Every structure is written in C-alpha cells, then in structure tokens.
Amino acid sequence: MSFTGFPDEGLVFYEGLEADNSKSFWTEHKSTYDEHVKVPMQALVEELAAEFGTPKLFRPYRDVRFSKDKTPYKTHQGAVLHLPGAGVGAWYVEVSADGLQARGGSWRMQPDQVERYRRAVDDDVPGGQLEQIVAKLRRGGITVDGDRLKRTPRGYDADHVRVELLRHKSIHGGRHWTPEDWLDSREVVARVQTTWRALVPLNQWLADNVGATTAPPDRRR
C-alpha cells in the first residue's frame, strides 16, 4: 500500500481517545485506529526506509507499571527508523490530534555515550562542528532540544564557550505542524523527508563522535 496521507478520521480518533482513554473506547474504535492511523503510518515509514533505515512502529499501549498516570493508551502514533551501524542517532515521526512531528537525533544516551559526547563538545574541532550544525538547524526553523542538566556538568567550567551543549544528556531536533489539509496528502512525505535530510549532519556527528553504547545490557539504565 502506498502512502496517501493521514485521514481526518485518525486525528478525530485521537481527540476521542484523549477525552476517553479507556478500554471500552479503544475496543469500539480500534478499527478506526487500524485503518486511519496504523496503516498509513506503516506505509509512510516503509516508503522512507530505503533512505533512512529499518522502521519500527511503537505499540499503542502505555507501560503504566511505574507511572502515576494509569491511562492505558498512547494518544499518538510514533515510529522510529534507524540505519544499521549508525549508533545513537535515529529518525522519528509522530501523528496525533495535535498534528505531525518529524525529528532526528538522540533521545537517550547511556552514561558512556554521554561521556564521549561531552568530550567531543569540549574539543574545539568536533565541538565547534556541533555548534555550527545546531546554529544552522535553528536558522532553518528546526528546534533543537534534549534532556539537559540545570548546572554545568562536573569537570567543566561554568563559563565554557559551549556550556549549553555540554549540559545536554541527549540531543535531537525537529519540526511540528498543526493539523492542516495537507496532512491528508502525499505532502507529508516531502515534509518529513526534507526535515530528516536537514538533520543528517546531526546524526552523522553523533555517529562519528558518540557511537553505540559499550555498556553491558545490565548496566544500561
């Protein structure tokens, strides 16, 4: 099946799920989710897979074991794509009642990756490269976010020229679009593709300077 857009019915489904996040609502409307959310999302990422890597759709069910929020279902559908050997960088797309998001970068780094990331930021050559990448992304209308420490990490000066980047524990960028008519068209492909291509330098920097974690599985927290 080729991607033709995200139908309005899918966004309306999520509006309803936000109002009634219950098993009864989900059961009654699951066919709407399957047809107007899951199927088009699968078609979208499969179309982009040749350029951006193996796609994986996230399950619609929330893990509530350690959460105070016990609502059982996610109010968005996300998917991630990852190129083999790329390490920490990935691509992400999400649709919800709020519209569409396309992002790239790292959402979580293990302690060994954070250490390599900060060493690279501290170094004038790779650190300067990342600074230029982030500045260019922001000039192009892409937001750059990530988990950050409130204080300067231990071992670095508070007046470091790249102190804001040093505080990052993860880093990613992207665009968000509110619901408009083009969401139900192939324009989605072009917008996601353009955003992800703009983020290639960020993911390449992460691959070159951070890479995959070397921590054993039982130490990955």
In the prediction, which pLDDT does 217 show?
Answer: 62
User: Tens-digit pLDDT profile for the chain (221 aa)?
Assistant: 799 999 999 999 999 999 999 999 999 999 999 999 999 999 999 999 999 999 999 999 998 888 888 999 999 999 999 988 777 899 999 999 999 999 999 999 999 999 999 999 999 999 999 999 999 999 999 999 999 999 999 999 999 999 999 999 999 999 999 999 999 999 999 999 999 999 999 999 999 999 988 877 655 44
User: Is residue 2 included in any domain, yes or no?
Assistant: no
User: CB of 84 within 8 A of CB of 54?
Assistant: yes
Give this prediction's pTM: 0.93
In the prediction, which pLDDT does 194 show?
Answer: 98
User: Is residue 3 included in any domain, yes or no?
Assistant: no
Structure tokens at 130: 């990342």
In the prediction, which pLDDT does 65 show?
Answer: 86
In the prediction, which pLDDT does 74 show?
Answer: 97
In the prediction, which pLDDT does 87 show?
Answer: 76
Burial class (CB in 10 A: 0-12, 13-18, 19+), 69: exposed
Q: Which amino acid is at 14?
A: Y
Q: How many CA within 13 A on the CB side of residue 139? A: 6
Strand order in the sheet with 54-57: 54-57, 76-82, 90-96, 99-106, 171-177, 143-145
Domain count, the chain: 1
Distance CA 200, CA 89 (A): 9
38 CB neighbour count, 10 Å cutoff:
17
User: Is residue 58 included in any domain, yes or no?
Assistant: yes
Which CATH number belongs to the domain containing residue 28 in this structure?
Answer: 3.30.930.20
User: Is residue 172 included in any domain, yes or no?
Assistant: yes
- For residue 108, CA distances in Å to 20, 59, 148, 174 come to 31, 19, 11, 16
Domain residues for the domain of 80 are 8-219
In the prediction, which pLDDT does 221 show?
Answer: 47
In the prediction, which pLDDT does 170 show?
Answer: 97
